[in-house]
Chain A
Amino acid sequence: MTSQTQEHAPATPAAHRAVLRVDGLSVEYAGEVRACVDVSFTLRRGEILGVAGESGSGKSTLITALTRLQRPPAVTTAGRILYHGRDGGPPVDLVTLDDKALRDLRWTSLSIVLQSAMDALNPVLRLGAQFADALRAHDRRMSKKEAWQRAAELLAMVGISADRVRGYPHQLSGGMRQRAAIALALACRPDLVVMDEPTTAVDVVMQRQILSQVLRLRDELGFAVVFVTHDLSLLLEVADRIAIMYAGRIVEIGTARALYTGPKHPYTQGLRDSFPPLHAPLRPLSGIPGSPPDLRRPPPGCAFHPRCPERFDGCDRILPELVPAAGHEVACLLYPAGGDR
């Protein structure tokens, strides 16, 4: 488990530029369902890490654990989430952080964008007031007037005209609300933004606008993003690196390009081929037979083996570890540790 942490650090000197290092994270629901098992990855500053998986893959559980927003019966049972601040000081472990210290980190270091902006914005407060709340909680010297002014600037940053600062959430379209929620998440200049299906509830054109803005703002402001979605075809276009989750584990992690051109894990291959192409020549595709496992009774060995077209003797007994394979990492017995193939 811990032996993997060094391998997750990139080969280049960027290790000290990590903003988040997740190490052996496991989350259980009431001790019965292991929704996240031994998840490890490193997120570099300014990087967009995509997390893709189907329902029940543990991606939402991972998000609530990362942001410490989980509620009982979910419990983090093992692992660390090391956050490296901008100041270069020693990292803090988000898993064990007390509430006060956590509050200080929220918004200024770590923020979240949820799938439905209507749930994230307060329906009875003007947009400006919600921005002012967040801004003034973290900078007590900021006057109300300054805060409202800053709110207008932040909204302008995502293409919402400044006069909307006096409007209520219901007066915005769904897409605008989601953009406002992103501006709000960026209000205190965090260096890590966690996005949970941020564009699933909007149409493709709005999705494109929002992603275009996120990419531009990332370049300008330098925050890192953990971007969780079921839509791998989208991640392949916006993420720098992608982690594929299945039954609570990361089964493959690598650059978006590597995952598109040379996916290693049979599940990743199946998932990639579940998205018909928009322009490339069409051929019959088949998806992945069967359905995702019931996490109350996960299959022994590799959780994917009952659906796997390449399973062989041992897949139903031996749990594969995440090991390096040709530039990325994969957890599959086809790729034994140390033997790149």
Chain B
Amino acid sequence: MSEPVLEARDVAKHFPVGRRGVVRAVEDATLALLPGRIVALVGESGSGKTTLARVLARFYPPTSGEVLLHGRAGTGRRGYHSDVQLIFQDPFGSLNPLHRVRYNLERALRLHHRTRDRRELERQVLDLLERVSLSPAGDFVDKFPHELSGGQRQRVVIARALAVRPKVLLGDEPISMLDVSIRLDMLNLLARLRDEDGLALLYITHDIASARYLCDDIVVMYAGRMIEGGPKEDVIARPRHPYTKLLIESSPDPGRGEDDRAALFDGADELGEPPSLVNPPAGCRFHPRCPFAMPECEQSPPPRTDLGGGHWAHCWLHQKGRAGDLASTTHAAAPALRAAGPADAPGAADDCGDGKEEGP
């Protein structure tokens, strides 16, 4: 496998609040982006995914840990951004409204490639617009941002990022403000950039279904920590962390059968909420909401368990041979099961550390 282009190693980011408080927005984040692969970073608001993206884009320095570009730390700022570009959620706020599309794109070319020749600039600008499917490019190049639709604007934003000829694109919810019918087009465009140009992509989203459509690997964050990751189909079909399971069970899926739906939603009244990051729970941060919580979970953060095939999770269930508990119930049903009596976990021990035995 090729070398990672961009890597985060044990990155933490804390923000001071008030006189002594600290928001522990991200802790122990380790992530590698490879050329020609898309990693989806999935989580709810406040899980730290945007903070991590901004650390990766060098908007802020990490509190601890390091970010490596091509295996090196400490690349100069301009050099860094020649390789790493960030796309924001809001295409309305990220283009200068006073300038035409042409200027917005030319500026990136001038700054990063010192392209001066007028004819060459024009050719590259038109080329960029064609690459993001704004064609005929001549129709768009002299428009102001307000004359474009949301989808067109986001394409211009992507074109501007591409003008730099980056190796890595970080997309922070790049489709969530777009109309539903044009989101897929944008995802297909990102997939094309991966396949044709070999870009390394980080796709940040709260929408697991779109992550599954676009990405190769999924990493799930909860309350500032990465809790599970691996090849997308493994993670979605067989989640190995209770929170990932909750997230997948909660996501809309019209393809569910009626019975599945009833099982998931009847009694899904009380699923709890993420904790404050100023004073996060000790141990596993999910334990106050977790129907499977054990004494260990309250005491120390769960170590990483490798489940085979690149799938990993931070959960004590795997250390204690109780992985089977997770697979056999839903979050809606779990509290009732627990109230009925402590799980005696028969035969769960053989489940530990093996990601494949229940495959089709």
Contacts and interface: CB of A to CB of B under 8 A. Distances in A.
Given A205-B247, A206-B273, A233 B253 contact: yes
A291 B273 contact: no
B180 A260 contact: no
Contacts of B208: 204, 278
A280 B237 CA distance: 10
Interface string A42-62: 000000000000110000000
Interface residues of chain B: helix, strand, loop or mixed (majority): helix
A319 to B, nearest CB: 21
B181 A233 contact: no
Nearest to B44: A203
Nearest to A272: B254
Contact of B180 (A203, A231, A277): A231
A203 B270 contact: no
Given A274-B181, A286-B185, A204 B247 contact: yes
A260 B180 CA distance: 16
Contacts of B332: 212
B265 A212 contact: yes
B58 interface: no
B282 interface: no
Given A204-B44, A205-B246, A209-B268, A279 B188 contact: no
Contact of A271 (B180, B188, B212): B180
A287 B44 contact: no
Contacts of A286: 184-185, 188
B273 to A, nearest CB: 6
Given A205-B246, A205-B247, A275 B180 contact: yes
A296 B266 CA distance: 45
B209 A278 contact: yes
Given A205-B246, A287-B183, A236 B188 contact: no
Interface string A223-266: 00000001111101100000000000000000000001000000
A55 B210 contact: no
B255 A212 contact: no
A270 B252 CA distance: 18
A292 interface: yes
Contacts of A173: 273
A85 interface: no
A211 interface: yes
Given A237-B254, A276-B184, A286-B188, A211 B44 contact: no
B294 to A, nearest CB: 22
A130 B254 CA distance: 37
Interface in B246-267: 246-256, 261, 264-267
A310 to B, nearest CB: 15
B236 interface: yes
Contact of A230 (B179, B188, B236, B265): B179
Q: Which residue among A209, A212, A278, A279 has the maximum number of chain B CB atoms within 10 Å of its CB?
A: A278
Contact of A205 (B179, B182, B271): B271
A215 B248 CA distance: 20
Given A208-B265, A212-B269, A215-B265, A279 B179 contact: no
A276 B149 contact: no
B250 A207 contact: yes
Nearest to B248: A278
B250 A275 contact: no
Contact residue range for chain B?
35 or more
Given A278-B236, A278-B255, A279-B236, A291 B247 contact: no
B64 interface: no
Interface string B341-356: 0000000000000000
Interface string A281-317: 0101111110110000000000000000000000000
B269 A216 contact: yes
A175 interface: yes
Contacts of B180: 54, 230-232, 271, 274-275
B213 interface: yes
Nearest to A233: B252
B299 interface: no
B285 interface: no
Nearest to B151: A291
B140 to A, nearest CB: 13
Given A208-B271, A280-B255, A287 B209 contact: no
Interface string B198-218: 000000001011101100000
A277 B250 contact: no
B182 A288 contact: yes
B45 interface: yes
Contacts of A292: 179, 181
Contacts of A236: 252, 254
A291 B179 contact: yes
B181 A54 contact: yes
A57 to B, nearest CB: 9
A159 interface: yes
B181 A159 contact: no
Interface of A: 54-55, 159, 173, 175-176, 203-209, 211-213, 215-216, 230-234, 236-237, 260, 270-272, 274-280, 282, 284-289, 291-292
Given A159-B269, A232-B180, A291-B182, 14 more contacts: A203-B45, A207-B250, A208-B249, A215-B265, A216-B266, A216-B269, A231-B180, A231-B252, A270-B181, A282-B213, A285-B184, A287-B182, A287-B184, A292-B181
23 contacts: A204-B44, A204-B247, A205-B247, A208-B271, A209-B269, A212-B267, A212-B332, A216-B269, A260-B254, A271-B180, A274-B184, A275-B209, A277-B255, A278-B208, A278-B212, A280-B255, A285-B184, A287-B183, A287-B185, A287-B188, A288-B182, A291-B179, A291-B182
